[in-house]
Amino acid sequence: MVFITGPRQVGKTFFAKNIQVEFKKPVYLNQDDISDIKIIRKRAWPLNADLVILDEIHKMKGWKGFLKGTFDTRPGAQSFLVTGSARLDTFRQTGDSLAGRYFLYRLNPLSVKELAGAMPPYEALSALNRLGGFPEPFLSSSDSEASRWRRQYYTDLVREDIMDFSRIGEIRAIRLLLEMLRKRVGSPLSYTSLADDLQVAPNTVRKYMEILESLHIIFAIRPFHKNIARSLLKEPKIYFYDSGYVEGDEGVRLENTVAVSLLKHVQYLQDTQGLDISLHYIRTKDGKELDFSLAEKGELTHFIEVKLSDEAISRSLIYYKNRHPGIKAVQLVHNARNEQERDGVSIVRAGAWLAQLSA
């Protein structure tokens, strides 16, 4: 089986329906459709179907046991594509084991790479900064339409999805935390400080953050450290899957869009090639910080700094490059007039560089 997970309204159903045209006898069934529910429960789809798409199946009670039995007794030529929101990715980690029966692929918002065939990289990056990468608001090309979509989207997330993870009395605190995080994108977060602001315990903040991560509203990037346990304990930086939801200036939104693009690149290589690749940021005890870094098999491969217009090389980037000359150092500048290399650091146009990523 193939599982496709990702945020709400990122395009999973559209993607699945485009895949089914490659098959001769596909069947699409949605757990949200009353008539389809009856077919799913009775396994009443045609035996000769070569692809069975089960959308939102995680909403069915005992769905993992159902999938396990269905897969183990299927006709030999029958394939299954299972799609669902981020909850599918979370719930699959508990209960009946589906080990060895599926591959997981994560679908993320639009990237500069995907848009490169439709518009120049600079324009694609500018549009993603303004509208975010979710298909509906992006394709509207309208700030007002994007705002309307976003208001309804996050209202539904809080009202429906967060209720699956938390008690109704906690919703107000989670909403407040979400508003606070919108203003703290790209800054290392202190759970203690957030807990003081919310008047809850630090462990409660951790729980709320895990809920927001599980629903693919935010994602955390942690500092690089060869000792993984120490890295997890250090302060994470938080970014949103939807750059349009970030509260901040154009530079902050740019950093968020780059973070989403790098996450998509890393997850694509993990899911399709099984590579041991990871995304981090770097910070020393004396405060020398780099926006992002990439690592393979626990060894750093890239230092990455993001700038809106300033083409002067980041001092932190020079500091780290001098101490690790074998690692690629790149400064992404959105409004760069010229691309150049100085002191071992490549200054490149952000859009063009992002367009060359894997996904």
Contacts of 124 (CB under 8 A, 6+ apart): 112, 115, 116, 118, 351, 355
Residue type, 189: L
Give residue 348's pLDDT. 96
- Of all helices (H) and strands (E), which one includes residue 204? helix 202-214
Q: What is the pLDDT of residue 25?
A: 96
C-alpha dihedral over 193, 316, 111, 164, to 10 degrees? -20
- Rounded distance between C-alpha atoms, residue 234 and residue 225, angstroms: 10
Smallest CA-to-CA distance from 217 within 190, 239, 189, 188 is with 239
All domains in the chain, ordered by first residue: 2-106 (3.40.50.300), 112-354 (no CATH)
Ramachandran bin of 87, using left for φ above 0, alpha for ψ from -120 to 50, beta for the remaining angles: alpha
Rounded to whole angstroms, the Cα distance separating 250 from 126 reads 9
Q: What is the pLDDT of residues 198-214, one digit of tens each?
A: 999 999 999 999 889 98
DSSP label at residue 314: P
pLDDT in tens, 84-129: 875 565 555 555 567 788 999 999 999 999 998 899 999 999 999 9
pLDDT in tens, 148-161: 999 999 888 877 77
Burial 118-127 (b: 16+ CB within 10 A, else e): eeebbebbbb
| Tokens found for residue 178 | 């979400």
Tell me what percent of the residues of the chain surpass a pLDDT of 70. 93
For the segment 279-330, what is each residue's pLDDT rounded down to a tens digit? 999 988 777 899 999 999 999 999 999 999 987 899 999 999 998 999 999 9
The bridge status of strand 345-349 relative to strand 340-342 is antiparallel
User: In whole angstroms, how far apart are CA 44 and each of 20, 41, 286?
Assistant: 19, 8, 64
